A and B are shown apart, each in its own frame.
Chain A
Amino acid sequence: MTILDRQQAIIDEFKALPDWEDRYKRIIEYGRELAAMNPEHQVDKNKVKGCQSTVWLHAGLESGTVRLQGDSDAMIVRGLVALLLKVYDGATPAEIIATPPDFIRETGLGSHLSQTRANGLAAMVKQIQMYAAVFQAMQKAK
Chain B
Amino acid sequence: MNEVKTFDVDALRKDFPILARTVHGKPLVYLDNGASAQKPRCMIDAIARVYEHEYANVHRAAHELSAACTDKFEAARRTVQRFLNAPDDREIIFVRGTTEAINLVAQTWGRANVKAGDEILITAMEHHSNIVPWQMLCELTGAKLVVAPMDDTGTLVLPEFEKRLSPRTKLLACVHVSNALGTVNPIAWMAQKAHAVGAVVLVDGAQAAPHQRIDVQALGVDFYAFSGHKAFGPTGIGALWGRANLLEAMPPWQGGGEMIKSVKFARTTYNVIPHKFEAGTPNIADTIGLGASLEYLMGIGLDAIEAYEHELLAYATSKLSEIPGLRIVGTSPNKAGVISFVLDGIHSSDAGMILDEQGIAVRVGQHCAEPVMDFFKLHGTIRASFAFYNTRLEADALAAGIRKVQELFK
Contact = CB atoms under 8 A, between A and B. Distances in A.
A116 B356 contact: yes
Interface in B363-410: 364-365, 379-380, 404, 408-409
A118 to B, nearest CB: 6
Most chain B CB atoms below 10 A, which of A20, A28, A52 = A52
Given A25-B408, A28-B408, A118-B364, A76 B350 contact: yes
Given A73-B379, A112-B24, A118 B349 contact: yes
A53 B357 CA distance: 18
Interface residues of A, number: 17
Contacts of B365: 52
Contacts of A116: 353, 356
B353 A119 contact: yes
Interface in B168-209: none
A17 interface: no
Nearest to A20: B357
B408 A52 contact: no
B350 A74 contact: yes
Interface residues of B, number: 17
A30 to B, nearest CB: 13
A53 B365 CA distance: 8
Interface string B203-221: 0000000000000000000
Contacts of B349: 52-53, 74, 76-77, 118-119
B382 to A, nearest CB: 11
Most chain B CB atoms below 10 A, which of A53, A116, A118 = A53
B352 interface: yes
B347 interface: yes
B244 interface: no
Contact of B347 (A20, A25, A73, A112): A73
Contacts of B353: 24, 76, 113, 116, 118-119
B347 A24 contact: no
A74 B354 CA distance: 12
A4 interface: no
Contacts of A62: none
Interface string A62-85: 000000000001111100000000
A75 B404 CA distance: 15
Nearest to A79: B350
Contacts of A112: 24, 357
A133 to B, nearest CB: 28
Contacts of B350: 53, 74-77
A25 B404 CA distance: 11
A24 B408 contact: yes
Interface string B320-362: 0000000000000000000000000011011011101100000
A53 B7 CA distance: 40
Contacts of A28: 408-409
A28 B24 CA distance: 20
Interface string A11-45: 00000000011001100100000000000000000
Contacts of A20: 24, 357
A17 to B, nearest CB: 13
Nearest to A53: B349
A76 B351 CA distance: 9
Contacts of A75: 346-347, 350, 409
A77 to B, nearest CB: 7
Contacts of A53: 347, 349-350
Contacts of A73: 347, 379
Nearest to A25: B408
Contacts of B379: 73
A113 B353 CA distance: 8
A24 B354 contact: yes
Contacts of A74: 347, 349-350
Contacts of B380: 52
A113 B350 CA distance: 12
A106 B350 CA distance: 22
A74 B24 CA distance: 22
Closest 6 CB pairs of A and B: A74-B347, A53-B349, A74-B349, A52-B349, A76-B350, A74-B350
Interface of A: 20-21, 24-25, 28, 52-53, 73-77, 112-113, 116, 118-119
29 contacts: A20-B357, A21-B408, A24-B354, A24-B357, A24-B408, A25-B408, A28-B408, A28-B409, A52-B349, A52-B352, A52-B364, A52-B380, A53-B349, A53-B350, A73-B379, A74-B350, A75-B346, A75-B347, A75-B409, A76-B349, A76-B350, A76-B354, A112-B24, A112-B357, A113-B353, A116-B356, A118-B349, A118-B364, A119-B353
Given A75-B409, A118-B353, 19 more contacts: A21-B404, A24-B353, A24-B354, A24-B357, A24-B408, A25-B408, A28-B409, A53-B347, A53-B349, A53-B350, A73-B347, A74-B349, A75-B347, A75-B350, A76-B349, A77-B349, A113-B353, A118-B364, A119-B349
Interface of B: 24, 346-347, 349-350, 352-354, 356-357, 364-365, 379-380, 404, 408-409
